[in-house]
Structure 1
Amino acid sequence: MAGRADVPEVIWARPERTGRGPRPAFSRADIAAAAVRIADARGLDEVSMRHVAAELGCGTMSLYNYVPRKEDLYELMVDAVGGEHELWEPAGDWRADMVRVAEQTRALMYRHPWLPALMSPVYGFSPNAMRYLEHCLACLDSFDGTYGTKFELIALVNGVVTTYVGNELATAERVRALPWSEEQEAAVRIAYLGGRVASGDYPRLAAAFAQDAGPIDLEAVFRRAVQRVLDGFDPSREGSAEHSD
């Protein structure tokens, strides 16, 4: 395939253009933006070199001169949307700052629902990813831990956010695919569940449902999930990750 390297290479180490020849018709930012538009509108499965080339109005083969592999295209996409992270001046409260990071990442994934599927350490050192990691480390300046522990903390927070949002998006997709309303589906399932619980075979479930805690606040559940991860790293808490070795 034209433009493909014989050995692995990092797309960021590859110059966008050499000093010779005509000026390239497109930049990496142009290509990434086109791919992101396709993924946002039609889903990740629709992102292909052919579709991106059509979006840009160029030939498919010529695109390989800019992006040798589809994996490189994915990395450009992840980096492009990573530039949407707001990098604020940390408040000095590492827990509050990391909760804010988590909430912002969740919002970013909702804007780009394909993003959880591409989250990978392989793409962790692109330009915007490195700015994001530097920002997270700045948020953790007040955290009493080694850099190794800080990286572990960041990775676990990102893992929780990615898993949580991935489940939310998958559930929403299944609901949209139903041939009837979400309310109708819920009513049928609640009726079935009520009958099973009333059978007496599930006393603990019956006790749990009898408490009737009301509607679940998904935003509060998300924040609690993140806070519980942070609890495991908080040096002020006995048994935290930093002091459990």
Structure 2
Amino acid sequence: MPRDAEAAVSGMDFGELWPSSVPPRRGRKPVHSREAITAAAVALADAEGLEAVTMRKVAAQVGAGVMSLYSYAPDKETLLHLMVDRVSGELPTTTALTGDWRADLKAIAHLQRDHMLRHPWLPAALSTRRVPGPNTLAFLERALAALRPSGLDGAAKMEIFAQLTAFVAGHVAHEVAQAAAAQSPERAAAEARYLAAVAADGRHPELAEALSAPGRALAPEATFTRFLNRLIGGLDAD
């Protein structure tokens, strides 16, 4: 987390951050709610990207003054914590586990990929440290339960889940970028010509050999599954 962002939240009681933990206020019912503000921020990020989420734009979405939002989320960093946990509530946490921890991890990774493709801003939001809210914790609990048959200790299970999530986030970010690049066939053709010229210059024999090999299936789902199988297959349960 950037130092200024970390300072902004370092004094916060995170137990009071999540909507379910906020005690009801006395007196007049508030015009807005933290849940509604978070939902508006998520909708804005889904439609326009994470950069579009500003306190001013979110205030406009809910019909509030900018200053009134600060009593619900004192800064954008806090709002991101709330957004990440809100969408984490979409992830299923009650489906039956098979007892095959590698198969269950693969299923979890596919759930994460689908989830991040629905919310393409998530990989960037997860790139800095996020405090897990109740929905995030429920999914983490599910992943740790899936890893129980592995015999790994708690620290290793946490590391594996972090590694898996980082892999999915990185792959989805690349997938989204590739989909955007595919909208420009001229650029793709220019890149192909460049790589062909580099491979033919005699100075990159390994690259030339790799590029001459038969291609693999390029469908996004197939590519993700192939990479995921390599990752999960390399995990050691010692």
1:158-237 equivalences under 5 Å are: 158-176=165-183, 181-182=184-185, 184-213=186-215, 215-235=217-237
Q: 2: distance between equivalents of 1:117 and 1:224?
A: 23
Q: 2: distance between equivalents of 1:22 and 1:83?
A: 29
Q: 1:138 aligns with which of 140, 145, 149?
A: 145
RMSD of aligned residue pairs (Cα, Å): 2.5
Q: 1: distance between equivalents of 2:200 and 2:10?
A: 64
Name the counterpart of 2:114: 107
The 1:30/1:222 distance shift into structure 2, 3 A limit, reads same
Name the counterpart of 1:154: 161
| TM-score with structure 1 setting the length | 0.82
Name the counterpart of 1:9: 12
Q: 2: distance between equivalents of 1:106 and 1:229?
A: 15
Q: State the percentage of identical aligned residues.
A: 40
Name the counterpart of 1:20: 26
Deviation at 1:63, TM superposition (A): 1.2
Name the counterpart of 1:239: none
Q: 2:42 aligns with which of 36, 39, 55?
A: 36
| TM-score with structure 2 setting the length | 0.84
| Contact 1:94 1:140 (8 Å CA) reproduced | yes
| Contact 1:16 1:66 (8 Å CA) reproduced | no
Deviation at 1:78, TM superposition (A): 0.3
Q: 1: distance between equivalents of 2:195 and 2:231?
A: 32
Deviation at 1:141, TM superposition (A): 2.2
The 1:231/1:98 distance shift into structure 2, 3 A limit, reads same
Deviation at 1:123, TM superposition (A): 2.2
The 1:231/1:10 distance shift into structure 2, 3 A limit, reads farther
The 1:64/1:211 distance shift into structure 2, 3 A limit, reads closer
The 1:194/1:100 distance shift into structure 2, 3 A limit, reads same
Q: 1: distance between equivalents of 2:123 and 2:153?
A: 28
| Contact 2:39 2:83 (8 Å CA) reproduced | yes
Q: Where does the alignment leave 5 or more consecutive residues of structure 1 unmatched?
A: 236-242
Deviation at 1:171, TM superposition (A): 3.2
Name the counterpart of 2:125: 118
| Contact 2:199 2:205 (8 Å CA) reproduced | yes
Q: 2: distance between equivalents of 1:56 and 1:169?
A: 29
Deviation at 1:72, TM superposition (A): 1.3
Name the counterpart of 1:238: none
| Contact 2:41 2:83 (8 Å CA) reproduced | yes
Q: 2: distance between equivalents of 1:203 and 1:93?
A: 41
Q: 1: distance between equivalents of 2:140 and 2:219?
A: 30
Q: 1: distance between equivalents of 2:51 and 2:9?
A: 26
| Contact 1:32 1:76 (8 Å CA) reproduced | yes
User: AA paired with 2:125?
Assistant: L
Q: What is the count of residue pairs matched by the alignment?
A: 227
User: AA paired with 2:136?
Assistant: A
Question: Once the two structures are superposed, what CA deviation does each residue of 1:179-203 show, in whole Å capped at 9, x if it has no partner?
Answer: xx42x33333333433443444444
The 1:66/1:92 distance shift into structure 2, 3 A limit, reads same
Question: Once the two structures are superposed, what CA deviation does each residue of 1:214-243 show, in whole Å capped at 9, x if it has no partner?
Answer: 5534433322332333234333xxxxxxx3
- Find the structure with the greater CA-based Rg: 1
Q: 2: distance between equivalents of 1:141 and 1:37?
A: 36
Question: Once the two structures are superposed, what CA deviation does each residue of 1:92-137 show, in whole Å capped at 9, x if it has no partner?
Answer: 1111111111111111111111111111573242111110111111
| Contact 2:88 2:136 (8 Å CA) reproduced | yes
